[in-house]
A = this chain, B = another copy of it.
Amino acid sequence: MQIEARRHVATAARKQAILEGALACFAELGVEATTIDDIRRRADASVGSIYHHFGSKEGVAAALYLEGIRDYQAGLAAAVEKARNARAAVRAIVLFHLDWAMQNTALARYLLEMRRAETTKSVDEEIRDANRDVFQRLAKRLEVFVARGDIADLPRELYAPLIVGPTQEVVRAWLTGRINVDLRKLRDSLAEAAWKSLQTGQQTT
């Protein structure tokens, strides 16, 4: 059992090394421009090993995507959990999004690139399951806030874009090098703006 266990550890380590190598390549070169050979070199593994564990380049991408999404969602859920009111919840989402991107630059870059890709179809189901979990919980809390009049009653598909959209846009620009500021200086403004955009407002001209 000791031996067995050690083997498992070694194997798992190898898998992880491949994922990390792949992430480094994907973030730097983009997924399509990354070759299996790039990954192999970076992970110090053999081609065969990569295929043994992930079946294809796409398989690597999908596994990485799943890992990324899960990490993001877990963090997001935890962050929102702590919020005691609508305003705090919105703020928590914005800040977490920003912080996560800053602390996981490569992964963030990768997820951003992947959002529209066909590549990840194989894990789509698992992603959907994960999403359901997290987002249903979020949605439920949202409904309470709406019912209470804390935030405006809007078409449901607008909440996520309104809360995260501007932040996402900033993060995207930052990750691609289009802007070059210290994101921490924008935290409060973004959180505040998101909150305002959700208010039921008396119109001003």
Contact = CB atoms under 8 A, between A and B. Distances in A.
Interface stretch (A3-11, A63-71, A181-189): A181-189
Given A164-B169, A169-B164, A176-B115, A155 B185 contact: yes
Count of identical protomers in the assembly: 4
A49 B21 CA distance: 26
B179 A169 contact: no
Contact of A192 (B115, B150, B181, B201): B201
A125 interface: no
Majority DSSP secondary structure for residues of A touching B: helix
A168 interface: yes
A53 interface: no
B87 A193 contact: no
Contacts of A181: 155, 157
B155 A189 contact: yes
Interface string A152-178: 001101101110111111101100100
A140 interface: no
Contact of A193 (B160, B167, B198): B198
A113 B150 CA distance: 36
A56 interface: no
Contact of A168 (B115, B169, B199): B169
Which 9 pairs between the two chains have the least Cβ-Cβ distance? A165-B166, A165-B165, A161-B169, A197-B197, A165-B169, A193-B197, A161-B166, A32-B32, A116-B176
